[in-house]
Structures are given as C-alpha cells and as structure tokens.
Copies of this chain bind each other. A is one copy, B any other.
Amino acid sequence: MYIEKNQQIHLSRRPEGMPVADDFELVSMPVADISEGEVLVKNTWMSVDPYMRGRMIDRESYVPPFAVGAVLEGGAIGEVVESNNPAFAVGQKVAHMSGWREYFITTGEDLQALPDSPIPEQAFLGVLGMPGMTAFTGLLKIGELKEGDSVFVSAASGAVGAIVCQIAKLKGCHVVGSVGSDAKADYLKNELGVDAVINYKTTQDLTADLAAACPNGIDVYFENVGGAHLEAALNVMNDHGRIAVCGMIDQYNATTPVPGPANLAQIIIKKLKIQGFIVFEHWDEYPAFVQQMGQWIQEGKVSYRETVYEGIESSPEAFMGLFTGKNTGKMLVKLA
C-alpha cells in the first residue's frame, strides 16, 4: 500500500530553554510498499513525555539524543494495516517507540502486540504503559513504600504523579501532592482521595505548607520536579526516608546551571536514601505490573485522566504544554 502523504514531525534544531514551535517541522513524505516480512503500521495515538526534552540535547544519557533534521521518536499505539509478516495480522493493535509520524514500515521486532482488554488502547501509553510502570516501580521498589507511610508526590496530577497518589492511597498511606493550579488540586482531592494538596504557584512557603500537610513528616518523596520541591521535601523528610528520583522537570529547560538545594546535609542528619531510576531497566516486571494495574482499573480502584490534542500537527504544541502545566494526567495526541 503506497502512502503518498505520511506526515511526521522532525526536530528542526535543538531547543534553547523552553521549546518553541520553530524547533519542530511538520514534514510529509511518502511511504513505500512493504517488502517480504514487513508490516505497515498506522499510528492511532502518540505520547509526549517530559523525558523527551533531555533527548533533544546533544549529550550522553541513558538514551541517545535525537538527531536534528530527522523524525522524532516516542511511545505510540498503532494498528497493522498491511502485513507480509505472519506474526502480525491486519487489524492487530501494537505498542512501539515510533511515534511522531502517521505511518511506518517495520519487520516487527520493535512491536508489542496489545493484549485484548476492555481498557481503551491509549491507556497503554499512560496508566498501563511507561508512566504507570514508572509510578509503580518508583514508589514500591525504589521508594520501598510501606503500609501507612507518609508520601509526598510532586507534579502530582501528571501522568506519573496521579498514579503514584492512587497506589499510595491503596497502600493505606497519607498522601500529599503538589500541583500548579486549583483545578488540579480539586481533582486530586475530590477524585483521587489525596489527603492534602499544595499549589506550588501560590504557596508563600513550600516547606511550611508541606510540614503542615505532613504532620508525621515524609517517609517517601516521589520526585518529579527538583529545585525548591526537593529542598522543601528534605526539610520535612523523616529519618530513614526514601526519595525516588523520577524526574526534575524544573531543570529540563534551564539555559544556565540552576544551583541545587542548600540543605543537602539533611541526607546525613536524617540518614536518607536518594535514588534515581529509569523504568526501562525494570521492564522484566512489566507483565506483572500490567496484570496488577489492569485489575485495579477494572475494579475501579485506579482511575486516570487524559489530555488529548488532535492530529499529528498538534504534537509539538502538546509536547510544549507539558512544561507549562497544560495537562492533567496523560498528555496524548490522537492521530487522524
């Protein structure tokens, strides 16, 4: 099936600071016919995630940087629309890392067939995918969560944070989240049952508000933000507290070095463990996670929200919106 117009998003140049529209380019190029063993996938949903900002920088990291002038990459869901590979029937839904484009051809090694599930397919980019697995791994394994712990979650209404909050509540924890708007605060309190929420944009004193919200201190801090959030958390942590470092979105768009907190000596005084992690290193536990999370969702114990942009051309805007708080829950782009 020759596709004349396959739209895709290229990185036109490396962003300086906050990404802007001109850092991206919408390009259209044809897709050839498939050869023996290949399949043609039409993408239905694609993910934009904060970690992608790091890949736009030309530096060594846990994933190689994106190339300028080439199509971007990222998690996506698609459907097999043509197949010369017996492993993939036409109509099969698949998850993969070839987002930011409408169609692509592959031999299939990079495709994960989605299981039959009553849960909508795009959930495999969020609550049942990388962000959900990140929440699960970071909180339970890296954060060593114990029943009844006091838990602080930054960026708590995001794709990861909102799942962290709910898992912690399921484990009988006192849960406090930070968000950047009152609407997000309402969502956490009224829909997710979070015990207290701090709007970091309006607080006069993050440490004081956090201490008030955590009368028994903090046992586990799920770190998505860095900077002032980390400083406040260090001030309120309990002895032997754990900080699972998932992200530091505060710093992703910094153009000059941003000094860290001045209170790192709390690490000694409180005997803290601070640990960074990358969820892909724990991917052998993904099947067990999907089983558990799928069950929680179907039992109504975990819910999730999506913020959806429409059309491949809106994907740069969706991505940029991650850094200005445009999303509640998972930020997604629905492709035509």
Q: Using a CB–CB distance below 8 Å, which chain A residues touch chain B? A: 54, 61-62, 226, 230, 239, 245-248, 251, 257-278, 281
Complex formed: what's the CA distance from A146 to B132 in Å?
A: 33
Known A-B contacts A259-B259, A259-B260, A281-B271; the reply to A226 vs B265 at CB < 8 A is: yes
Instruction: Work out how many copies of this chain go into the complex.
Output: 2
On chain B, the residues within 8 Å of A271 by CB distance are 62, 275-278, 281
CB contact between A264 and one of B62, B246, B260, B263 (< 8 Å): that residue: B260
B274 A248 Cβ-Cβ under 8 A: no
Known A-B contacts A258-B262, A260-B259; the reply to A268 vs B246 at CB < 8 A is: yes
CB distance from A149 to the nearest CB of B (A): 18
On chain B, the residues within 8 Å of A277 by CB distance are 268, 271
19 contacts between A and B (CB under 8 A): A62-B271, A226-B265, A248-B268, A251-B265, A257-B263, A259-B259, A259-B262, A260-B260, A260-B261, A267-B274, A268-B278, A270-B276, A271-B275, A271-B278, A271-B281, A272-B276, A273-B273, A273-B276, A274-B275
CB distance from A253 to the nearest CB of B (A): 12
On chain B, the residues within 8 Å of A275 by CB distance are 267, 271-274
Complex formed: what's the CA distance from A263 to B227 in Å?
A: 11
B268 A276 Cβ-Cβ under 8 A: yes
CB nearest neighbor in B for A266: B276
CB nearest neighbor in B for A273: B275
On chain B, the residues within 8 Å of A264 by CB distance are 226, 230, 248, 251, 260
Known A-B contacts A259-B260, A274-B273; the reply to A268 vs B247 at CB < 8 A is: yes
Complex formed: what's the CA distance from A267 to B61 in Å?
A: 11
CB nearest neighbor in B for A63: B269
